[in-house]
Amino acid sequence: MECPSKRHEGTVRRICKHLDEQLLGTHPGCICANGPEIEHPAMGRMRRPDAVVIPESALDEEGLAVDATQVLAVVEIVSPSNPNNDYGEKLTEYPAMGIPHYLIVDPRTGTIEVHSDPCRNRYSRKDPYIFGDSVPFGPWTVETSAFRRYRQS
């Protein structure tokens, strides 16, 4: 798997910044973090989303991964090398873990999908957007006007 590009990382940073500003009002004590793994022990699955909305205190707990029951939302930026992972496996695993909101940002196509209302191994709701939209994501909004697409080959 390729290392994430600068545009990938820039998009993650912008999303974390937008969400952190809003979390102060909607969920005090929560942050949008880039990096921690999440785990659902009953499923025996671990994942490392590009960004995750969690209580900041979860980062002070013992162990390697944040318990999925503490996760309010996950964000994935589609990589050019492995897009099926975000649209396939993760799209069934995150709702099975009970994660209420899943944002997929695809710099290959300039599109965004917001998934919500988990029910077993799927999300009941999917809302499509394009780069430039103000995207409702749970109780938050992600501004996407500064998102950049990957260079077309």
32-90 pLDDT, tens digit per residue, is 999 799 999 888 889 999 999 999 999 999 989 999 999 999 999 998 888 888 999 99
For 34-108, strand residue ranges (E) read 37-40, 45-47, 51-55, 65-67, 73-77, 101-106
For 5-137, strand residue ranges (E) read 30-33, 37-40, 45-47, 51-55, 65-67, 73-77, 101-106, 111-119, 122-130, 134-137
Going by C-alpha positions, the residue among 73, 48, 81, 82 that lies closest to residue 123 is 73
pTM, two decimal places: 0.93
Mean pLDDT of 120-129: 94
**Mean of all residue pLDDT scores within the chain:** 92
Residue ranges and CATH numbers for the domains of the chain are 6-143 (3.90.1570.10)
CA distances to 34, 91, 101, 149 from 136, in Å: 20, 19, 11, 20
Q: How many CB atoms lie within 10 A of CB 123?
A: 21
